[in-house]
């Protein structure tokens, strides 16, 4: 029988913190749940006031057959308060911080954090997003292509071609999205994240030539307004993608800057004669001139002014519900110049002021924890603390080198314990509020498809989807993943949706995803619950999602396994199987010859 992880536990969810988004000066109560098998003599909460460490003793408030609850209350006087708990006794000096229970002295970098700042939008709690790459989702007409574009037959991207230039266009448009809103809604989606829809000189559109309008190839602003009206009616929010770090070399700002060195636009860029084109490009690329936010005029143009890029699209007229910021960690940084925080905080302040219910999530590339400390991005695209470790755990002989891990070598294949420890380490560096406002994903337009990562193993893919839709954060499904699309990288990943020919659609898988998205949006444990790890064994993991109204146990297996869990030691029994392997009672015992999963409502 598997020995469950019975340790003291605390996280930032509602059953452990009386108010996760307090006002300055408010008193907040913090609770710790401690199994009766864990003994100690003294329990202390250590926290900071104005940078000075303070302490208070925890008090016992409740004890039952399985566990006890201890708590302390403190005033929140700083925007970001770090804290942790100490349990001491004979030969015991254990710290409980955001990574977990530590049997040695620790520093404050992994302390729990509570943020007294405006929280992320509450609508994120029961949202499931769908990522759409506009050129590949659906097409409603033949386009007159610009000089740079090359027309490709709609299904040519599904032929595993290896060499692409970024100029191939399938011809997708926003009207095509509008015509398939019923499909999106039926999938259980209530939010769409678009990769850029601005005019550009590529099919990916991360090289915008104008931030103020929708690309005419996609239907222009009229198509946006029509989609907005239809998506509002369907109850689906729309989020856009902004490259705050750079624009495209065809942008009218750059054209004007080159013509007139005295223009305000000349200050929008970094000029460097060591490049034959005369300016600094992101990653040294001519096509992506890097933006210089030392220019106050650029700050006004991008986010400060009423008619700025950020504000225009969040206005009632355009009605976007948030921004995903591309390479957010690089914005405002070049050599010894670092004005990143000023720009990030400026974007957040603008959004809090003009669109307080809008979501600000960033591609925080290699992960900078300080960016998620309360005043910057609400959350990150959770590559580092979810997608990468999960892919390394579930990888079935896929080559995941290069950009996938940011290394020139293949991704490692890791154990269940390594998976959990990696996730704990990530979670231990950010506030709970930032974790739950981060986008969780299995893949994206920038990565191999998860069906490819798991070697076409549907059961393994379904286990991963189950974890995606039961884990804290805002789930995002890349278009086509729900029908089993495959792809290695680049345009091979950015497959087209074959609406007129569904012979290759995995319809059985699609039906399972619809059940899971429904659970994610309706089960309170997934909306408001915490995260408590209870098992990390050979081939499988298990965790609890617990809220005031609901408790759910999730088991995720990546391979054949034998499961033997007695959850009576946690004070629980299975009341109902919500999805996956069916069990009842307090003893969960079964063997599986392949990857499997279970989602069980507890009593």
Give dist(CA 9, CA 3) in Å, integer: 17
Q: What is the DSSP string of 297-326?
A: HHHIIIIISTTSHHHHHHSTTT---EEEET
Q: What is the pLDDT of residues 416-448, one digit of tens each?
A: 999 999 999 999 999 999 999 999 999 999 999
Other C-beta atoms lying within 10 Å of the C-beta of residue 91 = 5
Spatial contact of 189 and 128, defined as CB atoms under 8 Å apart? yes
Q: What is the DSSP string of 414-427?
A: --HHHHHHHHHHHH
Count the helix, strand and coil residues of the chain and give each as a percent rounded to the nearest 5.
30, 25, 45
Q: How do the domains of the chain map onto residue ranges? A: 27-115, 134-245+291-522, 526-602
What pLDDT score was predicted for residue 398? Answer: 81
Q: Which residue has the tokens 């790459």?
A: 133
- Compute mean pLDDT per 10 residues along the chain, 603 residues long, and list them: 91 97 97 97 98 98 97 98 97 97 96 96 98 98 93 85 82 98 98 98 97 98 98 98 98 98 98 97 96 98 98 98 96 97 98 97 86 95 94 88 70 93 96 97 94 96 98 98 92 93 96 98 98 96 98 97 96 97 96 97 98
What pLDDT score was predicted for residue 57? Answer: 98
What pLDDT score was predicted for residue 402? Answer: 60
SS3 527: helix
Spatial contact of 4 and 52, defined as CB atoms under 8 Å apart? no
Domain 27-115 superfamily per CATH: Immunoglobulins (2.60.40.10)
Q: Where are the beta strands (DSSP E) in 398-510?
A: 439-441, 474-478
What pLDDT score was predicted for residue 160? Answer: 62
CATH 3.40.50.10860 correct for 134-245+291-522: no
Give dist(CA 386, CA 397) in Å, integer: 19
Spatial contact of 269 and 279, defined as CB atoms under 8 Å apart? yes
Tell me the pTM.
0.97
Closest CA to 60 of 85, 83, 33: 33
Same CATH fold, 526-602 and 134-245+291-522?
Answer: no
Q: Which helix (H) or strand (E) holds 515?
A: helix 507-522
CA angle 459, 466, 111 (to 5 degrees): 130
The phi, psi pair for 258, rounded to 5°, reads -70, -35
Q: Which helix (H) or strand (E) holds 240?
A: strand 237-242
Spatial contact of 266 and 257, defined as CB atoms under 8 Å apart? yes
Give dist(CA 172, CA 187) in Å, integer: 20
Q: Could you tell me which residues are beta bridge partners of residue 80?
A: 115
Give dist(CA 583, CA 179) in Å, integer: 41
What pLDDT score was predicted for residue 87? Answer: 98
CATH number of this structure's domain 526-602: 2.60.40.1180
Q: What is the pLDDT of residues 476-485, one digit of tens each?
A: 999 999 999 9
Spatial contact of 240 and 359, defined as CB atoms under 8 Å apart? no
Give dist(CA 178, CA 515) in Å, integer: 23
Contacts with 279 (C-beta within 8 Å, 6 or more apart), sequence order: 254, 269, 270, 271, 272, 289, 290
């Amino acid at each position: 029988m598997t020995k469950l992880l019975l340790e003291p536990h605390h996280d930032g969810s509602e059953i452990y913190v009386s108010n996760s988004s307090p006002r300055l000066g408010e008193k907040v109560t913090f609770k710790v749940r401690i199994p009766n098998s864990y003994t100690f003599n003294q329990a202390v909460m250590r926290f900071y006031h104005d940078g000075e460490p303070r302490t208070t003793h925890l008090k016992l408030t409740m004890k039952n057959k399985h566990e006890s609850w201890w708590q302390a209350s403190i005033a929140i006087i700083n925007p970001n308060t770090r804290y942790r708990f100490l349990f001491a006794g004979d030969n015991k000096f254990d710290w409980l911080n955001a990574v977990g229970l530590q049997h040695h002295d620790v520093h404050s970098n992994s302390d729990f954090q509570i943020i007294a700042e405006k929280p992320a939008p509450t609508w994120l709690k029961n949202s499931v997003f769908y990522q759409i790459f506009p050129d590949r989702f659906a097409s409603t007409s033949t386009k007159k292509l610009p000089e740079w574009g090359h027309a490709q037959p709609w299904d040519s991207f599904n032929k595993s071609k290896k060499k692409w230039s970024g100029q191939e266009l399938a011809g997708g448009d926003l009207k095509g999205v509008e015509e398939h809103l019923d499909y999106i809604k039926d999938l259980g989606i209530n939010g769409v994240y678009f990769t850029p829809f601005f005019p550009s000189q590529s099919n990916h559109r991360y090289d915008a030539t104008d931030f103020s309008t929708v690309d005419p190839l996609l239907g222009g602003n009229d198509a946006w307004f029509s989609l907005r009206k239809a998506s509002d009616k369907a109850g689906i929010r729309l989020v856009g993608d902004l490259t705050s770090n750079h624009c495209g070399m065809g942008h009218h700002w750059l054209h004007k800057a080159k013509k007139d060195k005295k223009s305000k636009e000349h200050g929008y860029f970094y000029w460097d004669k060591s490049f034959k084109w005369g300016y600094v490009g992101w990653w040294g690329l001519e096509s992506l001139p890097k933006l210089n936010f030392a220019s106050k005029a650029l700050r006004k143009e991008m986010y400060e002014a009423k008619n700025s890029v950020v504000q225009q699209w969040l206005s009632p007229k355009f009605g976007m519900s948030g921004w995903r910021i591309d390479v957010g960690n690089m914005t405002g940084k070049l050599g010894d110049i670092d004005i990143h925080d000023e720009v990030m905080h400026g974007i957040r302040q603008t959004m809090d002021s003009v669109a307080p219910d809008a979501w600000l999530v960033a591609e925080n590339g290699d992960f900078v924890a300080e960016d998620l400390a309360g005043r910057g991005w609400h959350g990150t695209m959770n590559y580092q603390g979810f997608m990468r470790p999960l892919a390394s755990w579930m990888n079935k002989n896929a080559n995941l080198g290069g950009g996938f891990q940011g290394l020139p070598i293949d991704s490692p294949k890791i154990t269940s314990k390594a998976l959990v420890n990696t996730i704990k380490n990530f979670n231990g560096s950010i506030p709970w509020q930032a974790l739950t406002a981060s986008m969780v994903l299995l893949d994206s337009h920038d990565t191999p498809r998860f069906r490819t990562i798991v070697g076409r193993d549907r059961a393994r893919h379904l286990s991963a989807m189950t974890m995606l839709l039961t884990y804290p954060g805002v789930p995002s499904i890349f278009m086509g993943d729900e029908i089993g699309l495959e792809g290695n990288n680049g345009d091979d990943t950015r497959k087209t949706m074959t609406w007129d020919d569904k012979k290759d659609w995995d319809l059985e898988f699609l039906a399972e995803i619809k059940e899971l998205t429904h659970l994610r949006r309706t089960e309170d444990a997934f909306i408001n619950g915490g995260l408590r790890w209870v098992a990390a064994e050979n081939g499988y993991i298990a965790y609890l999602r617990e809220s005031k109204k609901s408790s759910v146990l999730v088991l995720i297996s990546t391979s054949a396994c034998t499961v033997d869990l007695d959850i009576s030691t946690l004070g629980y029994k299975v009341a109902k199987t919500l999805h996956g392997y069916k069990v009842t009672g307090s003893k969960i015992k079964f063997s599986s010859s392949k990857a499997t999963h279970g989602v069980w409502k507890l009593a």
